Every structure is written in C-alpha cells, then in structure tokens.
Structure 1
Amino acid sequence: MRRLGFVQQKIPCVFVTDVREEPSRKRQCQHFQVVATERMNPVALEANVDCSLATEKLDGTCCYVTLYKGQPFLWARLDRKPNKHAERRFKKHQHAHRSCHGFTWNVEEDFKTVPDAWIPAHKVKHVDGFPVPDEHGHIPGWVPVEKDNKQYCWHSSVVDYQVGQALVLGPSADDKDELEITAVSLADLQEQTLELIGTNINGNAYGLGSKKQPIHFLVSHGGICIRNPPPVEFQQLCSWFQKSPEGKVEGIVWHCPDGTLVKIHRHHLGLRWPEDDTCLGNTPVVVRVPENGTNDAHDNNMLAFFLALNGRRFSRLRDVQLEP
C-alpha cells in the first residue's frame, strides 16, 4: 500500500499557472497573483492524476516527525530565507526577467542564519556541500520543537515527550462520517509530515477553540480524504468549490500512483478563503484519548485536557470545548 503524508517540498499546481499583476488574495503585501489556467500541468498528466487519491489541503503549518537526540521528535517548518540585500537583488532580477531563472545565489553570504539544529528538507539540492534555494528563493527545512522555545509554543502543546505521544485528528476507524481525536505514539508517526491546525494558526480557518481556551491538533498529510471528489477538470473544480458542501475546503492535494503530489488552492481559481463555514469544522468528532497507565505524567498540554473528554462526541469539530 502506498504511504501517504510526506510533504517536504512545495507542491505544484495541478494546472499550469500564470502570474497576474494584481494584489494577492492569499498573501498581504504581495503585488502579484498566481492563478491557474485551464491547461493541465504536464507533471500531473505524467503522474496519471485521474487515478490519484484526492485529500483535503488543510490550512495550517507544516510539521515533521523524525529523530532528535535519539528520540522521535516533532519538527516545525522553517525555511531559510535570503537576507535583505540578497532579497532586493532577487526581486530586481525577477522584475526585469519576469522569472527567477538565471539568478545566482551565494549561499554562504545571501541567507539568514538558522538554529544549529536546523536541517534542510528532503530532496533539497546541494552544490559544493551547500543546500540550493528553490524557485522562490527559500531553502525548505525543519527545526526541532523544544519545550522551552516560546516561538513554537502551539506546536509544543500537542506533543508530550515524556510519554512520547502527540494529539492527532483523523478519520474515525468506526464511522466514515466522523472524525476522531486521539493520542498517537510519536514513534508511529516517524518520517511523516503533518499539518498543525487550531486557534492560533493561520487565522483559525476552522473555528477551533477560543482565546481563553485554545485548541490545536496535528493532522497527517493525506489523512482526510475527499469523498466523491470532482473530476480533475477546471470548470468542474470551480463549480464543486462554489456549490458543494464538501467543497468548503482550502484546496485539494492529489496523491498520484507514482508518489507525485499536485494541488489546487481556492486562490488559484479566484475564490475566497477562508469560508464562513468549513467542511472540516462541521464534521462530527469523537474523543478517544484513554488512560494508559502513563497519563499521570502528562504535562499541562492538549493531551492532558482531552484525557478528561475521553468518549465524548461532538456534532461538529468546531463545537469541541475543553473542560475547565
């Protein structure tokens, strides 16, 4: 069986894209918009996208589970970006050539420093021992989420290294129409990528928790399948996103038979995001975080709170509230 849930690089759009000189709907202060044309991306055609598995593209921040100091650890996405001087040179080149091709980086001098524990993402190219930036001028990478790092406090809230578990949202094993909140061993998540979603992530598109009592989960990439997805055709996708209740998602990621990933984002189609009501936020959910003999070791995090809700069902994910 093909293993899903491994996102280390930018995923290309399922359609060929075009750049328009208009304010971005997705990023503030970006004065251009990347839009999909109706022409299929050759990468998608070669990967046989019509035989792929369609999964929900989630609006959060990317994470990775791999070893750190000899134990499975949660890592946060941290792209190494150019310093101000190099960024100006890069943008000047892009504006003059309407392309990043032909620009030369000095990786030793052009990029901001990163923590000592930082590692480049898989498949990042190296030249003379140095990682090479992608077409956006970034070097994708990861940094371990340590408990004392306030920058990653919401990442820390969903893991407990003492018991080696993470709080994960995924499909219920008992009911295909229901989600499940559960504790998963970090060892079982090793070498997977996941999305962190919740109250304090990307404007909280799914309406989770509150300022007083924030709620966050990890969701394995490829973990939320789209039921009865539309054909991979421009007009039918536009219609599905606008008219179908299942279309109230940020986008779709297709997992092709050869492992290739391609995506479509609502902004590629000129559609608004976030929606007032999302498909994920309206899905019923059950909590299954049972005592296992080690729960008394839980720190004051999401796992400890959800232990008190074990067995509870909520009619919508957005209705989940933690016990005081």
Structure 2
Amino acid sequence: MSGLGAVQQKVPCLFVTQVKEEPSAKRERQPFKVLATERITQKALDADIHSAIPTEKVDGTCCYVTTHKGQPYLWARLDRKPNKQAEKRFKRFLYSTDNCKGFTWDIENDFKPVPESWIPAKAIEYYNGKPFPDENGHIPGWVPVEKNSKQYCWHNSVVDYEFELALILKHHSEEPGLLEISPVALSDLSEQTLELIGTNVNANPYGLGNKKHPAHLLVPHGAFKIKTPPALNHNDLLSWFNGCKEGKIEGIVWHCSDGYLIKLHRHHLGLNWPIVDPHLVSQPVVVTFSGAKHDYNFESKTLFNYFSKLDGQRFNSLRDIEWEL
C-alpha cells in the first residue's frame, strides 16, 4: 500500500483564494463562496508543487487506521468544536474590522466535550502542551469505530475486526484502468488515512449500492494518481476539469515530497460537484477475494460475505454491481 495518505492535516488550496458574498454551492447555509484567484500560494511553491504527485480527491468522509485495544482499528473523523458561547465570540472576531491581534482561546472551557477515546490529529499545532484549534476554530481528531456502533454503522460495514480486514477500493496492481475491490489487512493500512465512500456518504456521488442495500468502501488517500495532469495555471486547470474525461473528479490533491498536501476543488474554480458521470464510475471493476471465501467465515448479510461470493467477477462500473445482500 502507498503511504501517500499518512499525513493528517488541513489541506490548503493550490491558489490564493478570495471570498465572494453569495451562497455556497458546496455547503448549506454558508452565505459565501471561496474562489481561487490565478496566483499560486507561496506555501505550495515552497513545497515544490511542480514536482508533486497529483492524485484524485475522492468525495467521502475521512478515516484513519491506528492501534486501539491492542489491534489495528478504523477511526472516524471527529473535530472538537467550540461551545455556543465560544462560537459566538469567535464569529464576532471573524466579522470584526479590528481582528489583527488574533483570537484568544480558552482550551479548557471553550470546547465541547469529546469521548475519552478521542485523539487529536497528528499535524495540528500545540500551545502549552495542548492541541490548538485551526483557523476555523476546530481541533481535528479521531474516535475509534467500535464494533456494532450505531453512530458509525457505515464505517463498521467496511471493517471486520475478527479477521482484522478492511474493504478497499483501489487500482488493480497489474491491469491499468481496472479498479479492484478486495479485503486488505488493517495492519497494512496502519497510520494511513482513507476516504469512506458509499450510499450514505455525501449524497453518494459514485452511485454505490442503494437505499435497500447500502454499500460502502474505503479508498486510501493517494490511491488514484492522475495520469495526464494539467499545467498548474488557472486556465489549463479549468479546461481540464471541464473537458477532460480524467478531469471528471471532485478535485486534485498534490502530494509533495516533504509530505505536504495541496488541494484544488472544482468549487474553487466555480464548477459544480457532484456531476452526472464522474471518472471513478467510468472504469471497470473486479472483485478479488481469492482464498478469502475459503479461509474466513464471514458473518451473513455483511459486505465481506457478499463480495466474497463475487470473487473473480468483473463489472463495467461500480454502478453495475448488483447489490443484493
């Protein structure tokens, strides 16, 4: 597995952005849009963005694999957010004309409680030994996905803790252009971040499963490298997203040699997402469970059991898989 997804951080945009005062097409109730200018950020230039590896930004919810209870576990993203009083103070600060002095947080009292098992993300800043909020006033972090958790039932569907497996979507190692769904040892994903996609995540832009038979998969960050990336200028990127088959994606994440990540979302260029036929569903897919259906006794009515019965079968698209658990 690639280690491209191991860095946990808030990913900055490739271009310097500006705020436009009209409703966001991406986030409900957000009264502004964040749009890219034509100037690349200094952070991206300092990270040698021109030598970075461009990968597809997959539309899902972020996850993390690390140890819990002495074994590898899937962790769900859970940001520690300000309580109502602190959020009001912070918003007043953001909209103030005199906010050059910065905002002072009371880490002990300004934030909502989190479960005891919560851990902060690795790349966040610390102040006096305590995790410090980002520019949005959140402290990014993780909670373990416990077996049979109702809150994280869709996360639960893609892991089997008895056999320590995760259900992964990635490129086939030997056939270019072919996707593969297969079980992967959780230990092989240790300290990596992944994206959970599927029926009940972000309105399901890839058409996985259905309401009667929901289906979800994990995609390691950096799994889908872009073969023919556009030049790093505003016009070429806009043309690539608009007119190229490979450009029918939510966005690009560049993985820099020092581990730094830079992103560009379609919304930053004023383009819509989701779209009718994203690139991910235009590719054929094979299910590879070789040996798994003989070596493991998966619980019935689980995705692992279902996919094990499809071992070796190919489909024209993720949408063509018949979801009958």
The answer to whether the superposition gives a TM-score over 0.5 is yes
Q: Which residue identity does 2:281 align to in structure 1?
A: G
CA distance in 1, matches of 2:324, 2:78: 33
Question: What does 1:24-43 align with in structure 2 at a 5 Å threshold?
Answer: 24-43=24-43
1:163 matched residue in structure 2: 163
Q: Which residue identity does 2:304 align to in structure 1?
A: L
- Please tell me whether residue 199 in structure 1 is matched to residue 192 in structure 2: no
Q: Contact 1:295–1:304 (CA<8 Å) still a contact in 2?
A: no
Q: How large is the RMSD of aligned CA atoms in angstroms? A: 1.6
- Please tell me whether residue 137 in structure 1 is matched to residue 137 in structure 2: yes
CA drift at 1:100: 8.4
CA distance in 1, matches of 2:175, 2:290: 19
CA spacing shift, 1:99–1:169, aligned 2, 3 Å:
farther
- Please tell me whether residue 231 in structure 1 is matched to residue 231 in structure 2: yes
2:318 matched residue in structure 1: 317
CA distance in 2, matches of 1:276, 1:101: 46
- Please tell me whether residue 295 in structure 1 is matched to residue 300 in structure 2: no
Q: Which residue identity does 2:168 align to in structure 1?
A: V
Is the partner of 2:249 in helix, strand or coil?
Answer: coil
CA distance in 2, matches of 1:3, 1:113: 32
Q: Which residue identity does 2:142 align to in structure 1?
A: W
CA drift at 1:125: 1.9
Q: Deviation digits for residues 102-139 of structure 1, max 9, x if unmatched?
A: 01111111111111100000022222332110000000
CA distance in 2, matches of 1:98, 1:156: 46
1:189 matched residue in structure 2: 189
CA distance in 2, matches of 1:214, 1:167: 14
Q: Contact 1:157–1:301 (CA<8 Å) still a contact in 2?
A: yes
CA spacing shift, 1:162–1:279, aligned 2, 3 Å:
same
CA distance in 2, matches of 1:14, 1:157: 34
CA distance in 2, matches of 1:24, 1:90: 21
CA spacing shift, 1:163–1:98, aligned 2, 3 Å:
farther
CA drift at 1:7: 3.9
How many residues matched? 324
Higher mean alpha-carbon deviation, 90-99 vs 201-210, is at: 90-99
Structure 1: gaps spanning 5 or more residues: none
Structure 2: gaps spanning 5 or more residues: none
Q: Which residue identity does 1:197 align to in structure 2?
A: I
CA drift at 1:305: 1.1
Q: Deviation digits for residues 125-179 of structure 1, max 9, x if unmatched?
A: 2223321100000000000000232110000000000000000000001211110
CA distance in 2, matches of 1:98, 1:12: 25
Q: Contact 2:7–2:123 (CA<8 Å) still a contact in 1?
A: no
CA distance in 2, matches of 1:101, 1:321: 57
2:122 matched residue in structure 1: 122
CA spacing shift, 1:285–1:114, aligned 2, 3 Å:
same
CA spacing shift, 1:134–1:235, aligned 2, 3 Å:
same
CA distance in 1, matches of 2:80, 2:7: 17
Aligned sequence identity (%) = 56
Is the partner of 1:107 in helix, strand or coil?
Answer: coil
1:16 matched residue in structure 2: 16
CA distance in 2, matches of 1:296, 1:114: 36
Q: Which residue identity does 2:296 align to in structure 1?
A: N
CA spacing shift, 1:128–1:257, aligned 2, 3 Å:
closer
2:309 matched residue in structure 1: 308
Q: Which residue identity does 1:45 align to in structure 2?
A: L
